[in-house]
């Protein structure tokens, strides 16, 4: 039996922050992961995705400028792009574990579950702790359809050394759209099966529809209002059956990816035996990220029911949990959180959509336009650029901002500053920016 003041489940962004904070305070700390150390973002998510995306961005920019300064064919070499990302990720597990051990934190590898409110068991080891931190992140949402075992997930994507001729993505959310854009630019014939009437369903429909148009132009076949029914294997390929318009259709493909979304990785932990209540959003916590039913437990990162599964938020939540264990009550103060789909063009959002603002009976004005003819898009032949900003009538504050453009992920950060520090949209527009930059375009919104 091993006894700890704090025991952390998960070595991603949030888990590492809590472990290090508590160890620096003089506590005895242990940490465990059931996969290679370092978490999803650094190895199977955000970081390798952006590294591979760099090739797509460079290729697309060169293709845009064909005849306007660039000559010759530009192609993506997938094995090179794959190896480029691997050079970054391959050392992360060893570096992460080494850093934790050097800090004096006991490190374990394995899968286990709780047998009561203070005991966690894995393999032949029993862990008893004063505080448990659930930072196990998320996993691909399983689908219960015939042939579900034939589907790959986002982790498999980053192990794909060679490209197939055809791919099908089940789900047109963040992951499905980002992957499909990279694959289409690399020459793969891509189909997306999306059950709703909109891709990127959390986003404002206005910008999502602009991305839809750009995606179709790229050659991606997007099936909206379509429901996956089954997958079968035949002669080394896969036949995907789906329903649309009251008719069953089928597609033959080389790979099928489940990109329907992700759910908190908690079921295997038997948290119910520890008196910890969960729901579909994860561990139910209070504003201090403490379990509402067992004060020994905290949850942070993607597995917390508190907020969106975004890496910057995981870091913030890890910091809050560490402070609460070491210093006492430190509630998580609600903030407006920007999010981005790193397609080409990017789609970025913060705050309320127009539909949400109306549901909340806000009084606001809408500033919206197709800006594809503006200088920043024209100078690089990028094509798609549009925005929608919701401004509260009484205060002049921004209620929500939604952008689709080549640099939407950077522009949205300006709105994050404004919304989190009560800067009116008028004052934001009056700020001096460099010209001709994407930030300066705000003056014309």
**Which tens digits make up the pLDDT trace of 244-297?**
999 999 999 999 999 999 999 999 999 999 999 999 889 999 999 999 999 999
Contacts of 319 (CB under 8 A, 6+ apart): 17, 21
**Residue pLDDT, tens place only, 303-320:** 988 765 565 788 889 999
pTM reported for the whole predicted model: 0.94
Q: Answer for the pair 130, 4: CB distance below 8 angstroms, yes or no.
A: yes
* CA dist., res. 84 & res. 53, Å (int): 11
Q: Answer for the pair 256, 231: CB distance below 8 angstroms, yes or no.
A: yes
- Distance, first Cα to last Cα, the chain: 62
Task: Report the range of poorest mean pLDDT among 208-217, 292-301, 330-339.
Answer: 330-339
Tokens found for residue 156: 């498999």
Break the chain into its structural domains and give their ranges: 2-140+263-326, 148-260, 345-444
The pLDDT of residue 301 is above 90:
no
Supply the CATH classification number for the domain 2-140+263-326: 3.50.50.60
Q: Answer for the pair 114, 269: CB distance below 8 angstroms, yes or no.
A: yes
Torsion 292-294-297-302 (CA) sign: negative
- Burial pattern 224-259, b for ≥16 Cβ within 10 A else e, equals eebebeebeeeeeebbbbbbeeeeeeebebebbbbb
- What pLDDT shows up at residue 356? 97
User: Tokens 């630019």 belong to which residue?
Assistant: 185
Mean pLDDT of 44-66: 96
Mean pLDDT of 48-64: 96
* CA dist., res. 66 & res. 61, Å (int): 9
* CA dist., res. 266 & res. 279, Å (int): 10
- What pLDDT shows up at residue 310? 62
- What pLDDT shows up at residue 308? 58
148-260 folds as FAD/NAD(P)-binding domain (3.50.50)
pLDDT band at residue 57 under the 50/70/90 scheme: very high
Contacts of 60 (CB under 8 A, 6+ apart): 185, 344
| CATH fit for domain 345-444, picks 1.10.3720.10, 3.40.605.10, 3.10.28.10, 3.30.390.30 | 3.30.390.30
CA dihedral 172, 175, 178, 184 (to 10 degrees): -70
Domains 2-140+263-326 and 345-444 belong to one CATH topology? no
Mean pLDDT of 203-232: 98
**Residue pLDDT, tens place only, 332-384:** 888 899 999 999 999 999 999 999 999 999 999 999 999 999 999 999 999 99
**CA neighbor of 320 nearest in space, from 169, 50, 47, 133:** 133
* Burial of 99 per CB tally in 10 Å (0-12, 13-18, 19+): middle
- What pLDDT shows up at residue 311? 58
% of the chain at pLDDT higher than 70: 99
Length of the chain: 445
Q: 41 phi and psi, to 5 degrees?
A: -55, -45
Average model confidence (pLDDT) across the chain: 95
The pLDDT of residue 127 is above 80:
yes
- What pLDDT shows up at residue 181? 98
Please name every residue paired with 125 in a beta bridge, in sequence order, or none if there are none: 122
* CA dist., res. 374 & res. 377, Å (int): 6
**Residue pLDDT, tens place only, 225-240:** 999 999 999 999 999 9
* Ramachandran area for residue 88 (φ above 0: left; ψ -120 to 50: alpha; else beta): alpha
**What is residue 12's three-state secondary structure?**
coil
- What pLDDT shows up at residue 90? 94
Q: Answer for the pair 347, 203: CB distance below 8 angstroms, yes or no.
A: yes
**Residue pLDDT, tens place only, 415-438:** 999 999 999 999 999 999 999 999
The pLDDT of residue 399 is above 60:
yes
């Amino acid at each position: 039996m091993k006894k700890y003041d704090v025991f952390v489940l998960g070595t991603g962004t949030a888990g590492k922050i809590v472990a290090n904070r508590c160890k620096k305070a003089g506590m005895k700390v242990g940490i465990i992961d059931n996969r290679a150390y370092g978490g999803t973002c650094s190895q199977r998510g955000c970081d390798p995705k952006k590294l591979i995306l760099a090739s797509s961005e460079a290729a697309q920019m060169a293709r845009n400028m064909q005849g306007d300064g660039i000559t010759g064919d530009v192609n993506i070499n997938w094995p090179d792009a794959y190896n480029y990302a691997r050079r970054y990720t391959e050392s992360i597990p060893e570096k992460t574990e080494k850093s934790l051990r050097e800090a004096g934190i006991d490190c374990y590898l394995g899968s286990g579950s709780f047998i009561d409110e203070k005991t966690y068991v894995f393999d032949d080891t029993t862990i008893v702790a004063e505080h448990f931190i659930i930072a196990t992140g998320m996993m691909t949402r399983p689908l219960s359809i015939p042939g579900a075992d034939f589907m790959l997930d986002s982790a498999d994507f980053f192990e794909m050394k060679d490209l197939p001729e055809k791919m099908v993505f089940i789900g047109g959310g963040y992951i499905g759209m980002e992957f499909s854009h990279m694959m289409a630019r690399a020459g793969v014939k891509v189909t997306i099966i999306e059950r709703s009437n909109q891709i990127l369903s959390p986003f404002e429909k206005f910008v999502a529809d602009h991305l839809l148009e750009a995606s179709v132009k790229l050659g991606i076949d997007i099936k909206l209002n379509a429901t996956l029914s089954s997958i079968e294997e035949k002669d080394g390929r896969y036949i995907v059956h789906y329903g649309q318009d009251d008719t069953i259709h089928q597609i033959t493909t080389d790979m099928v990816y489940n990109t329907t979304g992700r759910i908190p990785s908690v079921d295997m932990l038997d948290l119910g035996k520890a008196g910890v209540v969960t729901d579909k959003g994860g561990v139910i916590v209070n504003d201090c990220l403490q379990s509402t039913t067992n004060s020994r437990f905290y949850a942070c990162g993607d597995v917390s029911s508190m907020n969106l599964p975004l890496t910057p938020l995981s870091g913030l939540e890890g910091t809050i949990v560490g402070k609460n264990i070491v210093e006492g009550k430190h509630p998580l103060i609600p903030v407006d959180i920007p999010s981005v789909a790193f397609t080409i063009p990017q789609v970025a959002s913060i705050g309320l959509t127009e539909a949400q603002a109306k549901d909340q009976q806000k009084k606001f004005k809408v500033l919206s336009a197709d800006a594809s003819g503006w200088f920043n898009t024209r100078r690089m032949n990028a094509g798609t650029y549009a925005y929608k900003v919701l401004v509260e009538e009484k205060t002049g504050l921004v209620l929500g901002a939604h952008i689709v453009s080549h640099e939407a992920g950077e522009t949205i950060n300006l709105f994050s500053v404004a919304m989190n520090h009560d800067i009116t949209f008028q004052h934001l527009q009056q700020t001096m920016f460099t010209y001709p930059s994407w930030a300066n375009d705000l003056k014309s919104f």
